[in-house]
Amino acid sequence: GAEIVKQLIQKGYKVKALKRGNSDTSFLKDYEGKFEWVIGDVLDVSSLENAMQDVSHVYHTAAMISFSPREKYKMFKINIEGTANVVNTALLKKVDKLLYVSSITSFGTYQFKESITEKTKWKEHPDNTNYAVSKYHAELEIWRGKEEGLEVVIVNPSTILGKGNWNNGSLQIFKQVHDGIPFYPKGSMGFVGVEDVAKASIQLMDSDIKNEQFILNAENLKFKTLFEMIAQAFGVKAPQKELPAFIKEIGWRYYWLKSKLTGEQPLITKKTTQFTQWDFNFSNEKVKEAIGFEFEPIEKVVERACGEFKQY
């Protein structure tokens, strides 16, 4: 969200941005005064109406990411009901176009035996994470908005890498490698730079494209390869050994117990451990053909992100 705001300002757009009262806005400190903040929440409809007053285009990037079972219903409320509120308000305020930043997980986190494209259909499956379920149902709200007359675009980023808080989300990978971990997962995943996610989103919003969905994925990489890139950029030793099965089983149980004792989100869970052992392959052909988009190589993304992390 912050990256989209920055790029829109750089392009000369007049921008409003919705934030909660306790939001961390440090990533936009250099842009303060160049856009308008609106205090609110996707679960507060009146704040959404205020935010969308006299607005023609809306980027919906707000979501909760959690793999903790006890936060399932809170996450569903924010991601599904919150998205429904955004859609309803956009219809009420006659917004021209809505772009929703979803997730690659909305195609199903178990579908690793084939190349995943925008045509891949969701299937109910016990290996789908609660986060994946929430994003899939949020997308149904976006398509419902389309049926009610709203022009929409959905983007599905793979694992997003770039500058940010390395104590949260996918960026924890950087901290783990920097601090030194002995093992790497055997699987592979899709990765994309945060700048490219924002850039592609803005290009799609500015285009005549509507009522379409696009995977945003720069490269499919083995975790081993990614960890080696990060280690080289930091100048530290890369993990040398594949994660053994018995440590995998001990690991998620350790973090489950720790979360019970501390109340913190577990760093890994049984399901997240499981899908880091699989090989995923995500196609980016549709967005490349639609708008001629070229993704920045992940090695360049990693080098820049590590350089920025070193400053903190």
Structure tokens at 131: 């986060």
pLDDT of residue 271: 57
Structure tokens at 220: 């499919």
d(Cα 272, Cα 253) in Å, to the nearest integer? 12
pLDDT of residue 268: 56
d(Cα 191, Cα 158) in Å, to the nearest integer? 5
pLDDT of residue 182: 80
What are 84-140's pLDDT values in tens digits? 999 999 999 999 999 999 999 999 876 666 789 999 999 888 888 899 999 999 999
pLDDT of residue 269: 57
Structure tokens at 34: 């160049």
User: The pTM is what?
Assistant: 0.90
Radius of gyration of the chain (CA): 19
Ranges in the chain, pLDDT < 50 = 246-248, 250-256
d(Cα 92, Cα 206) in Å, to the nearest integer? 22
pLDDT of residue 252: 42
Q: What is the DSSP letter of 116?
A: B
Q: Which residue from 98, 36, 112, 69 is spatially nearest to 279, judged by alpha carbons?
A: 112
d(Cα 160, Cα 23) in Å, to the nearest integer? 20
Burial classification of residue 271, based on how many CB atoms lie within 10 Å of its CB (0-12 exposed, 13-18 middle, 19 or more buried): buried
